Amino acid sequence: GENVEQHPSTLSVQEGDSAVIKCTYSDSASNYFPWYKQELGKRPQLIIDIRSNVGEKKDQRIAVTLNKTAKHFSLHITETQPEDSAVYFCAASKWNDKIIFGKGTRLHILP
């Protein structure tokens, strides 16, 4: 079945700098790649997603890139702010199948 690896497990960046979180997946048939943000004590929420027919998607300060050949995708957060501190999860799935998550990255934004 699908296996999603996520790195790093913890990331600290200075406020205003950029943060990058990387994920790889094992099943070449996977074609949907969402990212979820979980703030402390809250439920995970979708922040951005990308489908396999697209190489990059951007929404204000966040962007996701997908390399299907290499089977990896990344989350980029620019101009980081204190409210970006959270745990971020990548995930992958294929048509009409379960969604498998990575182990998460705890992002700390340093003042």
Residues that bind another protein (CB under 8 A): 1, 6, 9, 31-32, 34, 36, 42-46, 49, 51, 89, 93-104
Residue 47 near residue 36, CB atoms below 8 Å? yes
Of the two residues 25 and 36, which places its CB atom closer to another protein in the complex?
36
From start to end of the chain, where are the E strands?
4-7, 10-14, 19-25, 32-38, 45-51, 56-59, 62-67, 72-77, 86-92, 100-101, 105-110
Of the two residues 9 and 12, which places its CB atom closer to another protein in the complex?
9
Of the two residues 14 and 45, which places its CB atom closer to another protein in the complex?
45
Q: How far is the CB of 9 from another protein (least distance, A)?
A: 7
